[in-house]
Amino acid sequence: MLKSRNFWCTQRRWKSGKTRWSIQQRKRTNIDRALENFDDFYGSVFGLRWKNMRVALLTEHKYIAMVNNFGDTEKTCSQLEMDGAINIKSLVQLAKERLEGESLLENNPSSYKMEDKLEIIARRQEEREIRSLYPEGTTEQEMPQHLEYKTSDNTELKRPPTSDLNETPKSSMGYALETDVCLDERRIIDPEIGTGGLYEFVPATKIKGMEDWIPESDYYRYYQTTTDFPLKIEPELNFSYPENLALYTYEMGNCSEFRAPRKCLTGVLSHYLMDGASILPPLFLDIRPGDRVVDACAAPGGKSLLMLQTLYPSQIVCNDLMESRVTRIRKVMKEYLFDYHERWEGRRLLLNQCDARKLDEYGTFDKVLVDVPCTTDRHSLMENDNNIFKPTRIKERLRIPELQAAILANCLRLLKPGGNLIYSTCSLSPIQNDGVVHMAMQKVFNDFGLTFTIKDLSSLIHLFSDIYRFERPKGLKYGQMVIPYLPANFGPMYFSKITRDE
């Protein structure tokens, strides 16, 4: 016969009423903040397609193996092929043969209006912020049309321009409070009772942490398409795959992992693993023998290493802002370049520590690669450390388009006439992508009178359609973009090719 168990009766403990148990709630992480931001923003931009991108971003991404030409090249290629990997060069050649004769070089005009969609998103976010600042019951007439903000030194910041340059400026919040708010005589304090409470009032702008407050809605207004500078867009029809470059990937739907790099007889590592979409910016830069190249934001060094593996550049300058990042580039180069100190350092490869906005060798480079700092969408959803959505980095995140545009505008001046530049980000944001390209080209024309031509790569990306999933052209104006897709989980990677006019 089973023995009955003794049950202890304990009284329930409630905290803050009967709304929840007295248990510790899950802490909101930086990843949660990033995901919430992306769901709101990208959900509005990409619609139903965002769900598939979201799943892919939350899944481990695929890699591509770049064979080191300064190691046991043939042996490494054989091992990778025996593991089932495919040489990208052969896939590109097959795609070229398949597309031969097809009319894929037409530059179809876009009927897609990204600026209209971003204007709606910006206004919706601004309405949320206004409602959060004003108490419940405030009428629409008492609320300002837009938020104005000032820095800690009481300098009013200009709002990023909207698509309508003739828009009349709206009243500031202070002006609205002075003119539109009705006096409620019932709240007048009788001096006989005391006025000490009046001196305890602290304006919201003086609250700790609000000195340099910036409305998040203004981030969306960096995207503009009103053109007041010469803009020319031409289809790019020529692409040459580097003869000496060996890149390997697994076919679409195959998520096998590459074997770890091994040490070769020459003392260098056999192959370098990198996100597959990262190979496209240096490939479309179209480096030629004897070119002088600068990688303005080079860390960790994978794209620079790829350009060196083509054996084409006469010299590459690898630049980055922080010493730790330059040290990381140096470490990668030592691991993959044979006789690094004797043949490379200070000769064909120069390491430079400098703010990319202050590079000043103007008009001296044939090719420039600008892979700017961005929100790094995949990293933001995978790592809490060094996450741009950390609460203390809000101002830095909202000012990213300004930083990107300043870097790109300065790097455009580094080009020789006729030279090519590739601008790239690992973000899905149209503001950091097309929006920044527009701002930078406008700035460099207004300040220095330089003009540039956008090279439309939409016909050439068909050569890589068996490897990547690309964003449809009608959603982009100045560039192309690899979007996350589970069977081919690369990216995101936006890239735009710009040529300096003669």
- CATH number, domain of 305, equals 3.40.50.150
Range of the domain at 389: 48-104+220-500
- Give how many domains the chain has, as a whole number: 1
Residue 316 — φ and ψ, nearest 5°? -125, 130
- Does position 190 have pLDDT exceeding 60, yes or no? no
pLDDT of residue 157: 47
Label residue 198 by pLDDT band (50, 70, 90).
very low
Of residues 187 and 57, more confidence is placed in 57
Strand partners, 234: 455
CA atoms of 294 and 314, how far apart (whole Å): 11
Summarize the annotated binding site as residue ranges.
297-303, 320, 355, 371
> Is 398 in contact with 388 (CB distance < 8 Å)?
no
> Is 262 in contact with 71 (CB distance < 8 Å)?
no
Of residues 459 and 203, more confidence is placed in 459
DSSP track, 9-34: -----BSSSSSSBS-PPPPPPHHHHH
Tokens 């690369």: give the residue: 490
Tell me, yes or no, whether 43 lies in a domain: no
Label residue 472 by pLDDT band (50, 70, 90).
confident
Label residue 473 by pLDDT band (50, 70, 90).
confident
Tell me, yes or no, whether 122 lies in a domain: no
CA atoms of 121 and 286, how far apart (whole Å): 37
CA atoms of 301 and 318, how far apart (whole Å): 8
Q: What does the buried/exposed string (b/e) look like for 375-414 if buried means 16 or more CB atoms within 10 Å of the residue's CB?
A: bbbbbbbbeeeebbbbeeebeebbebbebbbbbbbbbbbb
Tell me, yes or no, whether 388 lies in a domain: yes
The alpha carbon of residue 408 and the mean position of all alpha carbons in its chain are separated, in whole angstroms, by: 13
Annotated catalytic residue, options 77, 318, 411, 426: 426
Tell me, yes or no, whether 404 lies in a domain: yes
Strand partners, 66: 247, 272
Strand partners, 316: 293, 349
Tell me, yes or no, whether 365 lies in a domain: yes
Reading phi first (left if > 0) and then psi (alpha if -120 to 50, else beta), residue 363 is in: left
pLDDT in tens, 296-348: 999 999 999 999 999 999 999 999 999 999 999 999 999 999 999 999 999 99
pLDDT of residue 195: 47
pLDDT of residue 390: 93
CA atoms of 200 and 399, how far apart (whole Å): 33
Summarize the annotated binding site for S-adenosyl-L-methionine as residue ranges.
297-303, 320, 355, 371
- How much is the pTM? 0.79
Tell me, yes or no, whether 483 lies in a domain: yes
> Is 293 in contact with 318 (CB distance < 8 Å)?
no
**Residue 411 appears among annotated catalytic residues:** no
Tell me, yes or no, whether 78 lies in a domain: yes
CA atoms of 486 and 51, how far apart (whole Å): 11
Tell me, yes or no, whether 464 lies in a domain: yes
CA atoms of 384 and 33, how far apart (whole Å): 10
pLDDT in tens, 225-255: 677 888 899 999 999 999 999 999 999 999 8
Cis peptide before 492 (omega within 30 of 0): yes
> Is 376 in contact with 426 (CB distance < 8 Å)?
yes
